[in-house]
Structure 1
Amino acid sequence: MRTGLIKHSQYTDFLRSVPSFQSLPEDVLSKLADVLEETHYSDGDYIIRQGATGDTFFIISEGQSTQHSNSHSESVFISFLSSLCREDVRTASVTAVGDVTCLVIDRESFKQLIGGLDDVNSKQYDSDEVKAKLQAEADFFSSVSLSDFNIICTLGMGGFSRVELVQLKNDPNRSFALKVLKKRHILDTSQQGHILSERRIMMEAHSPFIIRLYRTFRDPKYLYMLLEACLGGELWTLLRDRGSFDDGTTRFYTGCVIEALAFLHSRGIIYRDLKPENIILDHRGYAKLVDFGFAKKVGLGKKTWTFCGTPEYVAPEIILNKGHDSSADCWSLGILVFELLSGSPPFSGSDPMKTYNIILRGIDMIEFPKKITKSAANLVKRLCRDNPSERLGNQKNGVKDIQKHKWFEGFNWDGLRQGTIDSPYTPTVDGPLDNSNFDYFPEDTDDPPPDEESGWDLEF
């Protein structure tokens, strides 16, 4: 990790010293630094040959070169070469003097990456009307306490928590999901950081495609997260019952996920746990992302090195510990599309290590089922490129490149954002307390000891 960071930092500094690049935002410089390749030359080797097409950009990071052309007899020593190449031909030759190391980027990669992360979704959530609504909501929830709710039943269980359906006592038509986390379990597994990060990210995630967190509570034994109740059930349950989805159905759910990821990525947040189990349906059948335990605010153009995620969905750079960013979510999106269309993910082994080895062989080694159309297969392969800088969604137009892909041709993105298009499946939800779209879970009988020592959750 340290070696990777030092090299990346050096490359970014080199790029920043190029006059043409000084106005580029930090995240774009960071992406360019990722795709620079080191090339070594010996004394007398041609770096650039006069008359060749200029489609590669060189930065000399070590050593010196000499420039000579037919029209200029004198040689000019240059220790730094910083001309971005256009499609024209080279007007001079450049050869190495002694050993030379160059950082090289080809024109195509450069064109793909120049352009910032598109802030596609910010605008629609920043109007005065929306701000006023959020303020009124915050005022209301700041005045409620745990004793204002009745527990109806359990909607789900996870490794650290269970989710209860609760009803507001003085307004029986309002129900919520209450996520209950055992403090002792969190402390024993050192998950404090993840839990606080989850809270911080979710409190700011005001997207119709992300489940809302309204407020949090705590007592000596538990932490509580009061969430929006989505009673349409998990997407995973629907997929399990149907076996697989057709193109139209998959397109709709993938569209919802893309909108959620666009919102997060434009704020420098990576999600890192995309899978059908973490996608839930509301009463209309629209999909929302839940469970932000692995989400992390890394900032635009920054990387993180934590190994986390579900084995079948983990990107190769996470397995190889090269550092990862929002492009890891683009990879997972490709895996999700494949699983929704076929019923199972493309990479899976009998244990995580076998799965990781299959992932490292690459998507081109996978045989696609006949039911996956050509354009859907093309989308999956372009999302699951081994090199993160080549992935759709991680280039200059960001998420727009995914939305403009042939597989989404004719899809009504505006209608999806406004909630005016019909979902492919409308769950039966008979009132605010209907839990029939969820599996049955027994009551939790394990009563943990009170946790008196921990001060880490004071801000919860």
Structure 2
Amino acid sequence: MGTLRDLQFALQLKIEELRQRDTLIDELELELDTKDELIRRLQEELDRYRASVVLPGPSVANAACSAQGDKDLGRANRKLIMSESVTSDLTSFPPKMCDKSQECQEVIQAAFLKSDLLKNLDEDEARAVAAVMYLAIVHHGCRVIQEGSGGSQAYVLEEGRLDVTKDGHKLLTIKPGEVFGEVALLYDCPQVYSVTAQLECKLWVIDRRCYHTLMMQRSQERLTRRSQLIGSVPSLLSLPNDVIMKMSDLMEEAHYTEGDSIIAQGASGDTFYIINKGQVEVTERKAGDEEQMLLSTLSEGQWFGEKALWGEDVRTVNVIAASDVTCLHINRETFRDLICGSQDIQENISHTDESEVKDAASLSSSTLSDFHIISSLGSGEFGHVDLVQLKSDVKICYAMRVLKKTALLHRGLQEHALAERNILMEARCPFLVRLLKTFRDAEFLYMLTEACLHGDVYSLLREKGRLDESSAKFYTACVTQALAFLHSQNVVYRDIKPENVLVDERGYAKLVGSRSLKKVEVGKKTYTFCGSPGYMAPEVILKKGHSVSADFWSLGILLFELLTGRLPFSGAEPMRILSETMHGIDHVDFPKAISKSACVLIKKLCRHNPSERLGSLRNGAKDIQKHKWFEGFDWDGLSRGTLNPPLPPNVKEALHSSSACGDYAGGAAEMCTIWQDF
């Protein structure tokens, strides 16, 4: 009995100790939350400071960009960025290898590690980029980069010294072994600093087109190689092509050195392996034997552990690396998520809306001169938007997007404008702003759409600071429905952000048309650098190739911003934002304003591996709809339009304007589907 009392007393002591620890943990968590909030405020102050003051750092581009001093830098960073397209025919522009010593190769690759962008290249990619960089000798006093000019090249300084200046003031000095100008590898951005040689300099150079082509080539080679390896496994031959392509993305690489144990006999296993490089030995130890018996040697292209994908598997053999080995592997849970689920992965979304197709007959015979301009709704880089109505029917208002042909041609975006037109003319979805008709004349393209006069979600965020969970859930659900429809048509949106989410007269949210829209075949990828900083997925930034999975990343970022009023990845210049994005969502501190289930949803949408993101697996958008955060949400009511929106729509003043601004000139023809006919 004395022993029992001692044990009970010891137990009580332990319980009290645990209670005190829990209390201490609660106090520390509260203190941590307070410090997190302080850090967030200080970071915002620092970003504002960086917008006007130069902060020297290891990245020349970042330091110089910080000196830009844009009064509305945050808004500018939210604009759509789109680089020129790279031909998918890699034979038409093969990157040329340039001879260089091993020492030069090492200098270049070491410099990459100092770059926020290039340090994310894998070993093979870094070696390939270094191999195609060519030598340039710059004499004392010569300019390498001119402030205000366009940029398309990145540089590594091997010998010499360069000064970075802005507005005639020296910012810093570039020394040998440093890289600069790398943001120009992503898109054509005006240079915000000048770089001048102070000594004769030896530079290694790569241009944007070569970099894009090389990255696309490496990505396609990797996908083709992986697909071939998967297709050679007899038990996987029956899988559809799109599943094989997704499995290619999902398989991870693991590296082993000689003698490493990959599989142990008698252990339970759930992982399947394909040998990409090297050899492994398969051995078995019989009961009562001390020595292991060599059963076989497997080489590149062979596989082991496939039974683990289909059920519980107790390993019956050992697999040991016979040399340096690289294996592709996938576990049972990931594989089952990939192949299981409904064949009809898209939600049954109504593709027609009676209010959107009213008076279709009158529109079908209308010309541009039949429309009356009520007022201007806004302007942008490529034109403006007018609020219009038919002269014969003043009850219905429309929006007319007026785009300058020369502006589109200058930026090489004519094909993107055509793609947007062709995609939206066929789209019938109540969660997309409907494109009703198009016109053209000698100077402009005209796109007639339904008018959503109740503002955009970005304006709502600026007004309220952040949205409550009910409102965020409703708007996120609307965007999810739009994406489910677009993805069912093999279309990727690529520019999800609050500015592109408009509110209609019912209070429902709709995605507006964008030149970022693109059709991507099942199992294929696109490589254009496209999107808005802060919303771009890592694979878009790194030129790994992307598809509809990139939209689910952006959906997660949208949800984060709706709930907090800020982006998870921020900075005073685009390169800083892109760098933060590549670090990933797991490095972001989530504020207490976001519930646990919302945090889980955001992190699942923003998985670094595109094929692991919620929405990218076999069930598609249904996996998002069934997530715990949406528990109890009336998806059917949303699709039917019977669900009440959380916020009443607020009509813009433009709708109440009674004075007409004017009419369009006559003679405009309906917009063609071939750019040359414009």
- Whether TM-score is above 0.5 comes out as yes
Instruction: Find 1:112's aligned residue among 321, 330, 337.
Output: 337
Give the aligned residue type for 1:223. L
The residue that corresponds to 1:284 in the other structure is 506
Q: CA separation in 1, counterparts of 2:511 and 2:342?
A: 21
> Does the 8 Å contact 2:284/2:318 carry over to 1?
yes
Structure 1 stretch displaced more, 391-400 or 180-189: 391-400
- Which region of structure 1 is more displaced relative to structure 2, 375-384 or 411-420? 375-384
1:355 paired with 2:577, answer yes
CA distance 1:455–1:378, change in 2 (3 Å) = closer
Aligned to 2:371: 149
Deviations 1:346-397 (A, max 9, x none): 2111110111122222223322233222222222222222222332222232
* Structure 1 counterpart of 2:225, from 10, 19, 34: 10
Q: 1:66 to 1:359 in 2, by over 3 A?
A: closer
**How has the CA–CA distance of structure 1 residues 383 and 118 changed in structure 2, closer, same or farther, with 3 Å as cutoff?**
farther
Return the alpha-carbon distance in structure 1 between the equivalents of residues 341 and 522 of structure 2: 9
Provide the residue aligned with 2:312 in structure 1: 87
Name the SS of the counterpart of 1:416 in structure 2: helix
Residue 31 (structure 1) aligned with residue 253 (structure 2): no
Counterpart contact for 1:283–1:426, Cα < 8 Å: no
2:650 and 2:356 map into 1 onto residues whose CA distance is: 29
Q: Secondary structure at the match of 1:321?
A: coil
Change (3 A) 1:106 1:194: same
C-alpha deviation, 1:139, in angstroms: 6.0
Q: CA deviation at 1:55?
A: 0.9
Matched, 1:52 2:52: no
The residue correspondences of 1:334-345 to structure 2 (distance < 5 A) are 334-345=556-567
Match of 2:627 in 1: 405
Match of 1:332 among 532, 540, 554: 554
AA in 1 matched with 2:596: K
The residue that corresponds to 1:22 in the other structure is: 237
Do the aligned partners of residues 63 and 371 (structure 1) sit closer, same or farther apart at CA in structure 2, a change above 3 Å counting?
A: closer
- CA distance in 2 between counterparts of 1:406 and 1:105 reads 26
Say if 1:437 and 1:53 are closer, same or farther in 2 by CA, change over 3 A.
Answer: farther
Counterpart in the other structure of 1:194: 416
* Alignment-mate amino acid for residue 239 of structure 2: L
1:265 paired to 2:487: yes
Which AA in structure 1 matches 2:295?
A: S
Structure 2 counterpart of 1:413, one-letter code = W
Task: Tell me the amino acid that sits aligned with residue 238 of structure 2.
Answer: S
Inter-CA distance 195–118: structure 2 relative to 1 (3 Å threshold): farther
Q: Over aligned residue pairs, what C-alpha RMSD do you find?
A: 3.1
Task: Report the Cα distance in structure 1 between the residues aligned to 2:544 and 2:521, rounded to whole angstroms.
Answer: 17
| Paired letter, 2:564 | S
Q: Distance in 1 between matches of 2:390 and 2:404?
A: 23
Number of corresponding residues: 443
Give the drift of 1:235. 1.6
Structure 1 residue ranges without an equivalent (≥5): none
Write the mapping of 1:358-397 to structure 2, written as runs, cut at 5 A.
358-397=580-619
Query: Structure 1 pair 252/115, CA: closer, same or farther in 2 (3 Å)?
Result: same
- Please state whether the residue corresponding to 1:249 is helix, strand or coil: helix
Of residues 269, 291, 295, the one that matches 1:75 is: 295
Question: Does the 8 Å contact 1:122/1:266 carry over to 2?
Answer: no
**Is structure 2 residue 672 aligned with structure 1 residue 457?**
no
Deviation, 1:251, is: 0.5
CA contact (8 A) 1:39 1:102 kept: yes
2:453 alignment partner, one of 212, 231, 235? 231
Is 1:216 the equivalent of 2:438? yes
Structure 2 unaligned blocks of 5 or more? 1-215, 288-292
SS state of the match for residue 401, structure 2?
strand
State how far apart, in whole Å, the 1-side matches of 2:278 and 2:589 are.
47
Moved more, 35-44 or 420-429: 35-44
Distance in 2 (alpha carbons) for counterparts of 1:143 and 1:407: 47
The residue that corresponds to 2:20 in the other structure is none
User: Could you tell me how far 1:8 is from its partner in structure 2?
Assistant: 0.8
Contact 2:349 2:485 in 1 (8 A): no
Structure 1 pair 174–131 and aligned structure 2 pair: CA distance change class (3 A): closer
For the residues of structure 1 that align with 2:578 and 2:334, how far apart are their CA atoms?
27
Aligned to 1:435: 654
Identical amino acids, percent of aligned pairs: 50
Q: Give the conservation status (yes or no) of the 8 Å contact 2:383–2:402.
A: yes
Amino acid aligned to 1:335: I
Conserved 8 A contact 1:215-1:225: yes
Secondary structure of 1:154's partner? strand
CA distance in structure 1 between the partners assigned to 2:470 and 2:354 by the alignment = 36
SS of residue in 1 equivalent to 2:531 = coil
CA distance 1:137–1:122, shift in 2 (3 Å): farther
Residue type of the alignment partner of 1:305? Y
Separation in structure 2 between the aligned mates of residue 375 and residue 437 of structure 1, nearest angstrom = 42
Residues 145 and 115 (structure 1), Cα distance of their counterparts in 2 relative to 1, 3 Å cut = farther
